[in-house]
Every structure is written in C-alpha cells, then in structure tokens.
Amino acid sequence: MKRIFKKCTAMLVGTAALLTMLCASVPVQAVSGVQTAQNASAEISEAIGLVANLYTAADSGLADQAALQWATTLSASGYVLYRSTNASSGYIPVYEGYATSYADPDLEIGTEYFYQLKVCTADGAVYSGVRSVTPCVVPSGLDTYNNQTGSSLVYETNGYRVGDTYYSYSLKKHFGKDDIYLAETTSSDGKYFGNERNVADSSQNSALESCKIESIHIEYLSHVNKVVVWAHWEKPSGYSDGKALVITGTPGGQFTVHHVYNPLDIEVRDMAIFFDDDTDRTGYLIAAANKPGQGANATLYIFRMNKDYSGVTELSPHFLKISIVNFRI
C-alpha cells in the first residue's frame, strides 16, 4: 500500500522564516500588484502533492491554460502558489488562499512555466516539489471525448499471453447503438488479432443496453488466470449516476457482468485499480467519489476489493481523502 500513497503525494520543505507571509491573513484570490521574486526551495519531502496539467477552453485549439491542484496530510491554514519561467529562481506568487486548486489562464505558447506550493502550518511554512507545464498548440486530428455525450473512442489492451494464445479486450459499442459489450480477440503472435467474440453484454445486465463508459481499466491477473474489468458507467446523457461497471472472466472462457452500481452507496467516476504484491494480491479501487448530498467527485476514496475482484468490501482503513477538481476539455 505504500506505493499507492507515494503516487498520491509529492514533496515539502520546512522554511519557518517564511511563515508570516501567509499565516496572519490569507485572501482567497489571485495575487495582484508588484511581488518580490524568490528562489525555488531545494529541500523536499513527501507531505504535499501538487499536480499541474494543461487544458484548452472550448474549441480554441490552444492548450494555454494550466490547472493546478494540490493536497496535503498536514494541517494547513493557507496556501501560496508560486510561478516562474525559470526552474530555480524568479518565483512570484500567483495565488494566496484556502482553496486546493487554481486555474492559471492565458499562458504563452512555447514557454515553460514552473510552479511550487507553500503550505502554512502551525509549525511553519513548508513547500511542495516543483511542477512544470509548457503550453502548446493542440495537434490536429485528435479524437476527443465528451463526458456528457460519450464518443467512439475505444480502450483496447495490447494483449495478454496465456499458454500459446494472446488475448486482447475492449469495451465497444455496436454501430448506431448506445449499448456496451466486452469484445475478446485472439492472436498467435501478439501482433495480429482477430476472431472477435462478444463475452459480456446487456444479456447479462440490462444497464448495458443504453449507456456510456469512461475511465476503463482492464487487467489480466496471472495468479488466478482472470481478466478484471472496472469502468465508470453513466446514462447516454448526463453525469449524475457515478456507477461502476464490473466484469471478470477467464481468457477464452466465461465472463460475468457482476455489477453496475455505486460501491458502498458511493458515487465513483474517474478511477484506477491497483493490485498489491502482498500474499493475497489484494485489489483496490481508487476513485474520485462522493457520498449522497456531496458535490460530484468531492473526495478521493480507496476501496478494498473482495477476493475475486468482483466488488468492494470496505473503504481501506488507510484511505486518502482530498478535494478533487475536474477540468474538462
């Protein structure tokens, strides 16, 4: 489980002398006016997570805006986000406040931007590692996905070898329909796949007759000779169900649609699955999630799977709970 949390957290450094800039009063707004530049902090640890991603607004054709999101296990009383065009110096605050995300608009194409977060705590000011983005022109000819209406994009595995046969899997739609089915293809060399077989569809669960699917994860677990599929399920339009589709089966054999449901009555959307290297090969579902009454994707939960990976049994006692902000292209 330690590896899960290393992926969810980044780094910090203690610098008590900088505490007073933030602790007394922190406006919840972007910083304006003349600011004094500072160098990036070099002493980094793992208590703060900071991520930076580019996104584009509508059909501008430019990925010239940055979405910054952060989380920490520290008891924070405020944050300052710094930006520079130099990795080691020239950092100017662009945000001060209590929120855990910031959108940095109108960046220049081709310029690399560096970000570092300061967290104010009762013990002093601490820092994240440096993250960077380089705004660019969005390449032409890309397929796109709209999570309100779905699309024709297909997630397909590269092929799993079982004995002398390679198996590949994808969740697909029949032409002109909104249904979903799991397709299995085979190959003798791992390069050329054919002989498509429908191994799971709406005949097992009517929820697959009309839906859209995203955040698809398909894994083959050799220790049990099983294919495990988890994905985010929604109706053809809208985004309010937050259900998980769960399918498992044996390569070349029988597959079962176990669930289209809210695990533990919790809505789940953007997700990942993880299989530990412990004796039991424990499985986990990691998902942007929310309980009834909360906003969509309000928190991040880690669920422990059951023994056959067909569902979840509990929230992991070591779950990480942070705020999530979704930025959609």
What's the pLDDT score for residue 246? Answer: 98
Determine the structural domain holding residue 44 and report its residue range. Answer: 2-137
Residues 169 and 298 reside in one and the same domain: yes
What's the pLDDT score for residue 148? Answer: 64
Q: For residue 228, tell me if it sits in a domain.
A: yes
Look at the chain and report how many structural domains it folds into: 2
Q: For residue 239, tell me if it sits in a domain.
A: yes
How would you label 62-82 residue by residue, b for 16+ Cβ within 10 Å and e otherwise?
Answer: bbbbbbbbbbbeeebebbbbb
User: Which stretches of the chain are DSSP H helices?
Assistant: 2-8, 20-23
Q: For residue 188, tell me if it sits in a domain.
A: yes
Residues 259 and 165 reside in one and the same domain: yes
Residues 29 and 172 reside in one and the same domain: no
Where among 87, 106, 137 does a domain terminate? 137
What's the pLDDT score for residue 180? Answer: 95
Contact 117, 80 (CB under 8 A): yes
Residue 56 sits in a domain of what CATH number?
A: 2.60.40.10
Please name the amino acid found at residue 318: H
In angstroms, the CA 83 to CA 107 distance is 11
Q: For residue 10, tell me if it sits in a domain.
A: yes
In angstroms, the CA 200 to CA 180 distance is 9
Residues 172 and 275 reside in one and the same domain: yes
In angstroms, the CA 207 to CA 245 distance is 9
- Kindly provide the residue ranges of all beta strands, DSSP E only, lying in 188-225, ordered along the sequence: 194-200, 212-221
pLDDT along the chain (329 residues), means of 10: 38 28 39 73 80 84 92 90 95 94 93 95 91 92 68 72 95 92 95 95 97 94 97 93 97 98 96 93 94 85 96 78 39
Q: For residue 284, tell me if it sits in a domain.
A: yes
Residues 116 and 255 reside in one and the same domain: no
Residues 171 and 110 reside in one and the same domain: no
With the CA atoms of 132, 136, 140 and 144 taken in that order, what torsion angle do they form, in degrees rounded to the nearest 10?
Answer: 40
Residues 129 and 171 reside in one and the same domain: no
Residue 263 sits in a domain of what CATH number?
A: 2.115.10.20
Q: For residue 114, tell me if it sits in a domain.
A: yes
User: Which stretches of 167-305 are DSSP H helices?
Assistant: none
Residues 309 and 171 reside in one and the same domain: yes
